[in-house]
Structure 1
């Protein structure tokens, strides 16, 4: 009896959220037009994404900085991209925090770091996005609009991949695995593919001579920044999975299959989720 009541209450809340935060047809079509990498989704998936975006807007609090006006276009565009990675995983992966802060452009991050000698330094650098463990996601609206698919860059997907990675603690490139969603994929299978791919990528980056660095940055599908830490490798590869799926699958087939199975989406339409892709 209690489970039925809980389900009824949950259904009523969901229906109310969908009504309160309904996205107009015109705004939804404008949003889709600005996110061409969503074109592979069929009508049913796009409808589910639209509903999830409304639910995300009901659960999160958007705010802006530096006098940027918060518009429906900004909120819906960011929320849609945030929901894409969890379309088949569920919004529960984004529980425990509420804030999305949007700056007009890049913003300054100040951090305290300790070097190998134990000396503490105050550092600052420009950023286009940041995800705080247990806190908000901070984004540059200028960067969030770089969605034409000319490269694999997508700051929203990147930061929300960090949020997924942080569900079980500090981001480490090993996102949470759930038996109901991911079996037979387990932590050992994840590490076998992911850690090996990360080590190979780091070795590749380390081998680039200074004179070829600028060219490598321009031509590499995976941003060299991904070599900084396994968590960055996971976030950058998540960008590539959704924004440049065919190129990602062609260059990193094992890594593509791993992330496709994790997110339970196959943007390159290889058949991997149905056992039709060669291992």
Structure 2
């Protein structure tokens, strides 16, 4: 690490040069209103004071790397608060995607092994894994609604209640039923469109097709697009916009 991050004992303002570099790299952050950018910078500083970054396989964590990740990670909790991320400390960063060896035993007792290529991973009450290549390119991939950091931290929000079901903790059973009903309907419709596109030559979908693999992945993929390309997301998923705005937006006074 460089000097500034290494010497942090508590939350201190992010140096202006580092912050401006992050805004220049990620236009979807620079486009936020002035008040939100100020809040983002404050939250990012607090985030950096409470998390530990680890470079994997020789990757070096610099101030630029840490600030770039922090600035994107706090965007989903801009109005929710950092308490939503208080179940973990570690953030592991690889240079590129990694291959994880998976093992599972089926109902017949047969053991299956396969290689899983990962861009990132969020563990329940555990660390978050990211790759710098995708993090660094987030400014360019925003047009496609893709953002690895927001994807993995959306999983963290989803997992706050211990369930990876595409529904974050909500204040009442009625609110949860409404959320789950809308999310499930949108997920099923998106999954059908992806199947038609991939198997029958239908129209390719703008949202990452990975969201069709499971409802928790659909939630994370939708969150990416919502935060980095709201205009296109609003056109594609108006029903989800009606869910996300009240949840992620400013709290009513």
TM-score by length of 1: 0.81
Please, which of 217, 225, 228 is the counterpart of residue 240 of structure 1?
225
Considering only aligned residues, what root-mean-square deviation do their CA atoms show, in Å?
2.1
Task: Quote the residue 1:9 is aligned against.
Answer: none
Task: Quote the residue 2:5 is aligned against.
Answer: none
Matches of 2:179 and 2:200, distance apart in 1: 35
Check whether the contact 1:100–1:136 (CA below 8 A) recurs between aligned residues. yes
Task: Quote the residue 1:77 is aligned against.
Answer: 68
Alignment CA distance shift 1:35-1:62 (3 Å) = same
Task: Quote the residue 1:27 is aligned against.
Answer: 18
Task: Quote the residue 2:206 is aligned against.
Answer: 221
Please, which of 159, 162, 165 is the counterpart of residue 155 of structure 2?
162
Within 5 Å, which residues of 2 pair with 1:1-279?
Answer: 17-19=10-12, 22-115=13-106, 117-147=108-138, 148=140, 149-178=142-171, 186-208=175-197, 210=199, 212=201, 216=204, 220-264=205-249
Matches of 2:54 and 2:198, distance apart in 1: 43
String of CA shifts for 1:48-93, please: whole Å, max 9, x gaps: 1101001111111001012111100000000111000001001111
Task: Quote the residue 2:4 is aligned against.
Answer: none
Task: Quote the residue 1:7 is aligned against.
Answer: none
Aligned residues: 242
Check whether the contact 1:102–1:141 (CA below 8 A) recurs between aligned residues. yes
Name whichever of 62-71 and 38-47 sits farther off. Answer: 38-47
Check whether the contact 1:146–1:153 (CA below 8 A) recurs between aligned residues. no
Offset of residue 199 of structure 1: 1.1
Structure 2 residues without counterparts, runs of 5 or longer: 1-8
Check whether the contact 1:221–1:248 (CA below 8 A) recurs between aligned residues. no
Alignment CA distance shift 1:203-1:116 (3 Å) = farther
Offset of residue 240 of structure 1: 0.7
Offset of residue 209 of structure 1: 5.0
Matches of 1:115 and 1:153, distance apart in 2: 33
Q: Name the SS for the 2:227 alignment partner.
A: helix
Check whether the contact 2:11–2:48 (CA below 8 A) recurs between aligned residues. no
Offset of residue 108 of structure 1: 1.4
